[in-house]
Amino acid sequence: MSDPVEIMWHGRFIVAKQEGKWEYVSRARNINAAVIVAIDDGHVLLVEQYRHPLKAHCLELPAGLVGDDEEGEAVEIAAARELEEETGYHAEKIELIGRFASSPGMISETFDLVRATGLTRVGEGGGVEDEHITVHRVPVDEVPHFVAAKRNQGFAIDAKMLLLLAGDILR
C-alpha cells in the first residue's frame, strides 16, 4: 500500500508533491515532453537558451511540451510544432523512439524521444515569447568538440546530450 500523495505547492506548470518520505515534482496536468533528435545531411540541430534554474545558458536537443495547449495532442504533432518553433526547421518524418525518465528520483516527468528527418528550413526559429533560443546545426562527428567548447564557455549541458556523446564516452 502506498502513502497518499500530498500537494505541497501547485503552480501553472509544476506541482511539488510529497508521498510518505518522498518529495518530488510533477508537471501540472500530467503534461509530457517531446525531445527531438533532428538529423539533417550528417548534421544535428542543437539549441541553446538561458535556463533560470541553472542560472546559465544550456546546450540541449530541441524539446517541448506535449498537450500544454491541446489536451490529447499526439507526440509527433507536438514534436513537429516544437521543432519549427525552436529551430525553424520542418520535418518530413517524425519517428517515435520511446519514453524515458529524466531524473526519476526527483521528477515524475517523462519524455518521448523522437527522431526528425527530411528537414527543410522554413523560418528563423528562436522559440516563442521570451525563449531567445539560438540554433546550431552541427556536424554529427564534431558534436563532442562543440559540446566541450560550450562547456568551456560556461554553458550547462543537458543530460539528454549524452545520447550524442555516448560513442566518444564508450570508446
Whose grid coordinates read 563532442? 144
Domain limits of the chain?
A: 1-29, 31-170
Q: What angle do CA 161, 163, 164 make, to 5 degrees?
A: 75
Which residues have CB under 8 Å from 84's CB, separation 6+? 90, 122, 123, 125
Give the Cα separation of 160 and 115 in Å (integer).
13
Q: What is the pLDDT of residue 52?
A: 94
The string of pLDDT tens digits covering residues 130-161 is 889 999 999 999 999 999 999 999 999 999 99
Per CATH, the architecture of 31-170 is what?
Alpha-Beta Complex (3.90)
The string of pLDDT tens digits covering residues 75-101 is 999 999 999 999 999 999 999 999 999
Q: What is the pLDDT of residue 133?
A: 96
Active-site residue, 86 included: no
Please report, rounded to a whole number, the percentage of residues in the chain having pLDDT higher than 70.
99
Q: Residue by residue, what is the 3-state secondary structure of 30-99? A: HCEEEEEEEEECCEEEEEEEEECCCCEEEEECCEEEECCCCCCCCHHHHHHHHHHHHHCEEEEEEEEEEE
Catalytic residue among 76, 129, 131, 142: 129
Q: Is the pLDDT of residue 67 over 90?
A: no
Distances (CA, A) of 127 to 58, 77, 161: 15, 16, 19
